Chain A
């Protein structure tokens, strides 16, 4: 990761955020259906990010102790447990399963 790479990544990420805020936001404010769509986008994208972080490694689907930790997180979220409890329980479960099975 050279300084040039860092600069290009920083500039490119900032540009996309600003484009979303100034171009995307204005369009959404004028079209109600698009605003509903936009309010659902975080759920869709987060659903995908969660899947990527819990059951994939590189470009393979991998079921391992992360999924058990995330199942615990899922139950706690559904039961409206406090966020800290959910996060600590998910990490602790994953760590314990990992330690027990020596992974």
Chain B
């Protein structure tokens, strides 16, 4: 991903797209959480302290399917292991002091790490990471409150196509990586493994196993497949 590093850093279009996406995500996820939890306070606190919509969704998905609380918590934590991997990627490129490393580690998400890893210099990595982090929270917090207090006004979030906002954002984030052979192979193998495993493996496992895509890609000669 570093071969064709983006030198200009995140522009306003990218930051706006991320803020908009996390607003939509905040609304969508928290409408779902409130529906099942039935408490505005719990929904808001969970959104802020868990700091992982995927974990909340995995927990609720297992509970919906009739799973125990313990199984649901495990699923919620297993899907979050991708944040550990993302934090490790970021940690290898982030040259800052201990306090900032703690704060950055706790904020490791797909978009901010994805954008930061595409920067060339340590200074740009740090700057891009915090700019995208600010943008995603600028969307997530208002989205959470709108979802909790105005959810019934908006109605069914799916009617507006909001359920594809998150995958579309993720695809856009890895766009530069996809134009290089290694990145494309990693994404395709990761995606294919996920599709194969979803019907047979416990929730969360397909996402973890997709790391194998990166292992396969690392053996391939880094060549751009398109400009």
List the interface of chain A (C-beta within 8 A of B): 1-3, 5-10, 12-14, 16-29, 33-56, 58-61, 66, 69-70, 73-74, 76-78, 80, 82-84, 86-87, 90-96, 98-99
Q: Does B154 contact A (CB under 8 A)?
A: no
Expressed in whole angstroms, the Cα–Cα distance for A74 and B24 within the complex equals 20
Question: Do B213 and A39 touch across chains, with their CB atoms under 8 A apart?
Answer: no
Expressed in whole angstroms, the Cα–Cα distance for A2 and B72 within the complex equals 12
Q: Which of B51, B77, B172 has the most CB of A within 10 A?
A: B172
Can you add 10 more A-B contacts, CB < 8 Å, to A47-B190, A86-B172?
A20-B86, A20-B108, A42-B110, A46-B190, A48-B190, A48-B206, A49-B82, A77-B172, A86-B171, A87-B172
Expressed in whole angstroms, the Cα–Cα distance for A39 and B83 within the complex equals 14
Expressed in whole angstroms, the Cα–Cα distance for A47 and B101 within the complex equals 27
List 15 contacting pairs A-B, 8 Å CB cutoff, sorted by A.
A1-B59, A12-B80, A16-B83, A17-B83, A20-B86, A43-B217, A47-B194, A49-B170, A53-B170, A56-B195, A78-B175, A83-B18, A86-B168, A90-B165, A93-B161
Expressed in whole angstroms, the Cα–Cα distance for A6 and B39 within the complex equals 13
Given contacts A13-B50, A21-B104, A56-B198, contact A43 B183 (CB under 8 A): yes
Shortest A7–chain B CB gap in Å is 8
Expressed in whole angstroms, the Cα–Cα distance for A13 and B77 within the complex equals 6
Question: Do A25 and B92 touch across chains, with their CB atoms under 8 A apart?
Answer: yes
- Interface residues of B toward A: which range? 35 or more
List the interface of chain B (C-beta within 8 A of A): 1-2, 13-14, 16-18, 20-21, 24, 33, 36-37, 42, 45-46, 49-52, 54-56, 59-61, 65, 69, 72-73, 76-77, 80-92, 94, 101-102, 104-106, 108, 110, 113-114, 117, 158-175, 177-179, 182-184, 186-195, 198-199, 203, 206-207, 209-215, 217-218, 226
Task: Point out the residues of chain B lying under 8 angstroms from A27, CB to CB.
Answer: 88
The A-B contact count (CB < 8 A) is 326
Shortest A56–chain B CB gap in Å is 5
DSSP class of A's interface residues: helix, strand, loop or mixed? helix
